Structure 1
């Protein structure tokens, strides 16, 4: 009927739902020193894991398996060791031994738990030549984070960010400054 206000027959009664949390700003990456310490602790942790695995195999009397491992090319052993160390830990818990020490966790760029596929991608990206030096790029996000869409962040910062708090960078990004493309002349002082 013209002029009458139409109402939906199946409209739900007036219920107010709680508004979703609005996150303020982007989730800051963990500080560079934490990432470097992660790398060092995880390297040691991975070596200890491999030694413990070899010890268990030796105790179990798996001599033929040990022989096959000894004759496997080192590159394949390295890939296997990294997959066995990183994928279960980061895939199930979002953390490794190094990340536990530094209070960091791996998540997606929007703060969700990283999928097993992303974790596998992160692990394989670690084999890109010179990838370890990508930590010195602007934003402190390594290639093994950029490619699969993950980020390593501090646990405390993540909790605050997920609660909707605006989280500022703890320290200014100390990567090499961006090149000046303004075309202006720069003056440099000659070396003495």
Structure 2
């Protein structure tokens, strides 16, 4: 049986507009998860009468809140991209993450993508003419248009 090599070409890549929309949607989802976790901890404290956790949550400084949000962000991106090759933002923009040969990224690539996203100035890596950011380049992954990819894979 003959196997054909598939290569991601520039015309499959998601646009900068799609990538920006992915970022906005995903940051909103991460924010909602972060607030939801904090609210759930407060509710559990109220229900159990144990207010130590809820007092801890309400006493977090801005820096601690940012660290908490970064932890939530790490788990969100890692879980979503590892198991689904897409986040909620990518779902709405009909894009997905793949390796250079069109297969799903493995855990190592997804963790690298996610860790690089935590670099504060990483979002500015999209300002160059290249449509790929540092988290794509360093993990050797691509964000592509899902429907175009599926139709090409069928050929």
- Which TM bucket (shorter chain)? 0.7 to 0.9
What is the RMSD of the two structures over their aligned residues, measured on CA atoms? 2.2
* Larger CA Rg, structure 1 vs 2: 1
- Normalised by the size of structure 1, how large is the TM-score? 0.68
Match of 1:52 among 12, 20, 36: 36
Distance (Å, rounded) in 2 between the aligned partners of 1:40 and 1:146: 21
Higher helix proportion (structure 1 or 2): 2
Give the direction of change, closer, same or farther, for the CA distance of 1:114–1:66 in structure 2 (3 Å limit): farther
Distance (Å, rounded) in 2 between the aligned partners of 1:152 and 1:115: 15
> What SS is found at the alignment partner of 2:103?
coil
Which segments of structure 1 move beyond 4 Å, counting only runs of 4 or more?
Answer: none
Match of 1:146 among 137, 143, 147: 137
Q: Tell me which residue corresponds to 2:20.
A: 36
> What SS is found at the alignment partner of 1:60?
helix
Q: Which runs of 5+ in 1 are unaligned?
A: 1-16, 165-192
Give the direction of change, closer, same or farther, for the CA distance of 1:85–1:67 in structure 2 (3 Å limit): farther
Match of 1:71 among 35, 60, 72: 60
The offset of 1:84, in angstroms, is 2.2
The offset of 1:25, in angstroms, is 6.6
Q: Tell me which residue corresponds to 1:20.
A: 3
- Normalised by the size of structure 2, how large is the TM-score? 0.82
Distance (Å, rounded) in 2 between the aligned partners of 1:157 and 1:136: 25
Q: Which runs of 5+ in 2 are unaligned?
A: none
